[in-house]
Structure 1
Amino acid sequence: MTVTHNGKQYTVTQVASRYLWQLVEVDAPRSKLTLNRQQMILAGFAHIVEKAA
């Protein structure tokens, strides 16, 4: 799934622990963020967290 955050596009994938998500920047694949469930909700990605649950 591709999302936009702070003007950048990221591809979101759920990590094997099923509690973490990895955001990989589309334009720079080496730029990655790893967020837990609470951080995803605070960043405004609650729709992704709820969809995966």
Structure 2
Amino acid sequence: MVVTSIVVGLVLTVLTLVLTLVTISKGYSYKHTIDPLNKEDEVREFSGNGKRL
């Protein structure tokens, strides 16, 4: 009974470790992108005096 509990605990620990590493790896490999600004957004970003709005 004790050996079975230890084996089950080790299997769950290894499974958790593997899933954690896979999740972290997928997160780092995700290509983040940003949308380009529209002309309207560029005009709103700066006023005529060079200061941000």
Relative to the length of structure 1, the TM-score reads: 0.22
Structure number with the higher helix fraction is: 2
Relative to the length of structure 2, the TM-score reads: 0.22
Give the structure, 1 or 2, with the largest relative contact order (CA under 8 Å, sep 6 or more). Answer: 1
Higher gyration radius (CA): 2
